[in-house]
Amino acid sequence: MIVTDGSPVSIVATDADDQPTRTPELEALYRGFESELLVPLWTEIGDLMPPSPRSKALPHLWRWQALLPMAERAGELVPVGRGGERRAIALANPGLGGRPFATPTLWAAIQYLNPGEDAPVHRHTQNAFRFVVEGEGVWTVVDGDPVAMRRGDFLPQAGWHWHGHHNVTDRPMAWIDGLDIPFQHFAESTFFEFGPDEVETREAPERSRSERLWGHPGLRPLTHLRPTPATPLLAYRWEHTDRALTEQLALEAEGHGATVEPGHAAVRYTNPTTGDDVMPTLRAEFHRLAPGTETAAAREVGSSVFQVFDGTGRVTVGERSWSVERGDLFVVPSWQPLTLTTENGLDLFRFSDTPIFERLYQHRAQNDRQENPR
């Protein structure tokens, strides 16, 4: 880009109370600023330094019943292959100017793979994961290790590992992808590299090598003793998640403190080499609300995307409110309060950008159920 004509900067003098008196001299100064590519703080501070975060992103809900047919239609019309790389269709937050960004930092998309198709191998610095709300039959091959994808599974995919997907069945499969694409796009840290057009192996084992090495609670192979920035465990299976949540509610019923608040069980997916989040920029959790539960309003710095995994309920984010059911996806922008209620029970997958803020000491949270949030 070459700046050929005029300045990209434009400063408007106004008669607002907190602005300097609008005089010809001031106008001349502002023109001088423009020609030197300068912008005063005093005309911008209201937008740049609000009392608390004002997200550009809006609370929004995408219905699975609308999303899935779109993906199916794309499966008919759009080939998957080198260049486009993935048949992935991203949520575009209505507040973010038409970009494929669910929130300012998070990407969320439905991906769709027809029988026999391969999504070609590549790697990128973006951290990623897949979560499966329904279906099965695709193996994602990570650094040559084939990982089955099935309903309820969470499949992390840390940055700069080779990966492709292939569908070994005779039925299509859809799932959601979550990534930190908007964050890395904004922060300008993205690297990308192409691999082979087809996955390295068509093996479709029940369990990946990664799970066989790492999927034993509290046990660490002696061959891998150094902490790694992201989890080496490539699949967090639904049977474990479901059991953990079931146990939390059972423990609560037995009188022990195991839930976040009454009727609200929750687990965080973690990196077994550190006990910390699965990936440096992404947090992933699963929440289960027992029938009749209403959560306390809670808000925090950073944004989240939720997908309803099962059940029905009502979601309130800021001034928006929706009834939700299986597969629906919604966005909670930074510092917007969230409340969840359910009559019959509600299972929710959640991911967020919280590790970014925690690692940079910018995280804050507020919760109606407690003065000093955990």
Candidate ranges 82-90, 133-141, 309-317, 341-349; the one touching a copy of itself (CB under 8 A):
82-90
Q: Is 22 in the site for a copy of itself (CB under 8 A)?
A: no
Residues linked to residue 156 through DSSP beta bridges, in sequence order = 129
Contact indicator for 340, 350 with CB cutoff of 8 Å: no
Smallest distance, a copy of itself to C-beta of residue 356, A = 6
Smallest distance, a copy of itself to C-beta of residue 163, A = 13
Candidate ranges 181-189, 290-298, 307-315, 341-349; the one touching a copy of itself (CB under 8 A):
181-189
Smallest distance, a copy of itself to C-beta of residue 341, A = 19
User: Considering only residues 14, 32, 291, 370, which one is a binding residue for a copy of itself as defined by CB under 8 A?
Assistant: 32
Smallest distance, a copy of itself to C-beta of residue 226, A = 8
Residue 285 or 347: the one with the smaller Cβ distance to a copy of itself is 285
Smallest distance, a copy of itself to C-beta of residue 239, A = 9
| Interface of this chain with a copy of itself, residues 294 to 353, rule: CB under 8 A | 301-303, 333-335, 353
CA dist 96 → 10, 52, 166, 189, 333 (Å) = 22, 19, 32, 20, 11
Which among 96, 88, 24 has a CA at the least distance from the CA of 57? 96
Q: Is 84 in the site for a copy of itself (CB under 8 A)?
A: yes
User: Considering only residues 12, 170, 206, 360, which one is a binding residue for a copy of itself as defined by CB under 8 A?
Assistant: 360
Residue 50 or 115: the one with the smaller Cβ distance to a copy of itself is 50
Q: Is 129 in the site for a copy of itself (CB under 8 A)?
A: no
User: Considering only residues 114, 136, 201, 268, which one is a binding residue for a copy of itself as defined by CB under 8 A?
Assistant: 268
Which among 50, 55, 54, 44 has a CA at the least distance from the CA of 9? 44
Going residue by residue from 213 to 232, which x/- string records binding to a copy of itself, judged by CB under 8 A? xxxxxxxxxxx-x-x-xxx-
- Our CA dihedral for 248, 250, 254, 258, rounded to 10 degrees, sits at 10
Q: Number of residues in contact with a copy of itself, rule: CB under 8 A?
A: 149
Q: Is 74 in the site for a copy of itself (CB under 8 A)?
A: yes
Question: Which amino acid is present at 11?
Answer: I
140, two tokens? 């994602």
For every residue of 140-191, DSSP letters joined together read: EEETTEEEEEETT-EEEE-TT--EEEEE-SSS-EEEEEEE-HHHHHHHT---
User: Considering only residues 45, 196, 197, 344, which one is a binding residue for a copy of itself as defined by CB under 8 A?
Assistant: 45
Q: What is the β-pairing status of strands 60-62 and 128-131?
A: unpaired
**How far apart are alpha carbons 114 and 126 in whole angstroms?**
25
Listing from the earlier edge strand, what are the strands of the sheet with 346-352?
60-62, 329-332, 304-311, 346-352, 283-289
| Interface of this chain with a copy of itself, residues 142 to 161, rule: CB under 8 A | 159
On the 0-12 / 13-18 / 19+ scale of CB atoms within 10 A, 79 is exposed
| Interface of this chain with a copy of itself, residues 228 to 267, rule: CB under 8 A | 229-231, 233, 236, 240-241, 243-244, 247-248, 250-251, 256-260, 266-267
Candidate ranges 168-176, 208-216, 289-297, 309-317; the one touching a copy of itself (CB under 8 A):
208-216
Residues linked to residue 316 through DSSP beta bridges, in sequence order = 321, 339
Q: Is 354 in the site for a copy of itself (CB under 8 A)?
A: no
User: Considering only residues 15, 188, 206, 371, which one is a binding residue for a copy of itself as defined by CB under 8 A?
Assistant: 188
**How far apart are alpha carbons 254 and 131 in whole angstroms?**
32
Which among 337, 330, 265, 276 has a CA at the least distance from the CA of 301? 337
Q: Is 204 in the site for a copy of itself (CB under 8 A)?
A: no
Q: Is 95 in the site for a copy of itself (CB under 8 A)?
A: yes
